[in-house]
């Protein structure tokens, strides 16, 4: 929430109404104007796998990109594709708005129960692809809510590095 970037991504619910976890923390830090703007601009909310943008209000970031990740059921209902779409669409929107820096949480990894290792793979792949398409974005940060989740993402980054070097076939 206190990231010095052009936009932070909110792990939003489909009503864009604030809530718990990252979503609630962002709404509290941004102040009541964020909820008011969401209700005014997006009265129908936002479908899963899509994103919407608002001002940052009291946040240091100029914008908030609200991404509605999937609730994880069993991995056989398109959850990975919807999660990847959130990251890709957030980057597309950032590029369209000419933003140069963006900070993501680990979407769907809290109350939506997405398995962390799978979510890390999906997120990092979608971000890598998005940055290939949108080279004007200079910086992407992952802001993770605890040390355990950080380790899962770090391990995925290391696994990807080994694969790039050809020393890991996983």
If you ran DSSP here, which 8-state letter would residue 112 be given? T
Residue with tokens 């940052």: 56
Q: Do 69 and 19 touch, CB atoms closer than 8 A?
A: no
Task: Print burial letters for 54-77: b (CB count within 10 Å at least 16), e (below 16).
Answer: bebbebebebbbbbbbbbbeeeee
Q: Do 166 and 133 touch, CB atoms closer than 8 A?
A: no
Q: How many C-beta atoms lie closer than 10 Å to residue 170's C-beta?
A: 5
Q: Do 106 and 118 touch, CB atoms closer than 8 A?
A: no
Q: Which of 6, 23, 74, 168 is catalytic?
A: 23
Specify whether 168 is catalytic.
no
Q: For the purposes of burial, counting CB atoms within 10 Å of the CB of 87, is it exposed (0-12), middle (13-18) or buried (19 or more)?
A: buried
Q: Do 97 and 136 touch, CB atoms closer than 8 A?
A: no
Active-site positions read: 23
């Amino acid at each position: 929430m206190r990231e010095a970037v052009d936009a932070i991504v909110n792990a939003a619910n489909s009503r864009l109404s604030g809530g718990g976890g990252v979503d609630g923390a962002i709404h509290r830090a941004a102040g009541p104007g964020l909820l008011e703007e969401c209700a005014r601009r997006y009265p129908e909310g936002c479908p899963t796998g899509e994103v919407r943008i608002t001002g940052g209000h009291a946040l240091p970031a100029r914008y908030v990109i609200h991404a509605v990740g999937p609730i994880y059921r069993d991995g056989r209902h398109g959850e990975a594709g919807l999660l990847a779409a959130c990251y890709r669409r957030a980057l597309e929107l950032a590029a369209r708005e000419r933003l140069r820096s963006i900070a993501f949480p680990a979407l769907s990894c809290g109350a939506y129960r997405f398995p962390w290792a799978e979510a890390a793979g999906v997120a990092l792949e979608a971000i890598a692809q998005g940055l290939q398409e949108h080279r004007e974005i200079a910086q992407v940060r992952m802001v993770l809510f605890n040390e355990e989740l950080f380790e899962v993402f770090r391990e995925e980054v290391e696994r990807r590095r080994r694969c790039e070097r050809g020393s890991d076939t996983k």
